[in-house]
Structure 1
């Protein structure tokens, strides 16, 4: 049973728009993942530098537009919490990336199948 041309065009248009949306979102997610990885690396480097300092070294932590004298332990705790948050965000972004890649791939395959049957 053949699908009418109007329905076929409408179906192709819907699948195409879904694929374009998935591709756009995939680009955004990839950018966010790269940003989170840079942030994680910055925290890791900062932690390494903090380990090299003597424990009684005065450390200043940025708060808004000013700096506050804090202990190295407080800074390390804050950075550890940030690193854990970044890990969770990266895990969520990886799931989203996988979903969008699958959606895009499936949309492309559906369009190819429709075109092969319609042609």
Structure 2
């Protein structure tokens, strides 16, 4: 089987396609500078996609922590209506531990506080990632504008 790349057969690793693509670019007047931009452009695109996925993950984690915080708050609100001397059972794995109302109340408050701190950390991380995406997109635009100017 003959091909446009000098009669060589396509190889499994895509080398043939790469050679044909490079030759076609050269025959169309692509300069070495433009060909050198392609890997950088691809790298920036990969960075943007990776960062966008991290932003989505941070959003999911923030939603989960908000649910945890709300659950702890609602549970605390319910147990505060009970008499102070009421003993309660806390579920730990497959067993239940008898504890006082005050101990459960303190645990729920701590759970809310920890969730709030983690939410703040994730929001800071998310804003950093969003800035990073914006900078990468701006770099891609600059590369495209430079390519058009050449």
TM-score, structure 2 normalization:
0.74
Superposed displacement of residue 22, structure 1:
0.1
Give the alignment partner of residue 114 of structure 2, picking from 85, 110, 113: 85
User: 1:117, 1:3 → 2: CA distance?
Assistant: 14
Q: Which ranges of structure 2 fall in alignment gaps of 5 or more residues?
A: 1-30
User: 2:96, 2:42 → 1: CA distance?
Assistant: 55
Q: Residues 5 and 63 (structure 1 numbering): CA distance in 2 closer, same or farther, change over 3 Å?
A: same
Instruction: Answer 1 or 2: higher relative contact order, Cα 8 Å, separation at least 6.
Output: 1
Aligned length: 118
**Deviating 4+ runs (over 4 angstroms):** none
TM-score, structure 1 normalization:
0.92
What residue in structure 1 maps to residue 43 of structure 2?
Answer: 14
User: What are the equivalent positions in structure 2 for 1:76-115 lying under 5 Å apart?
Assistant: 76-115=105-144
Q: Which ranges of structure 1 fall in alignment gaps of 5 or more residues?
A: none
Question: Which one has a larger percent helix, Structure 1 or Structure 2?
Answer: 1
CA-based RMSD of the aligned residues comes to 1.5
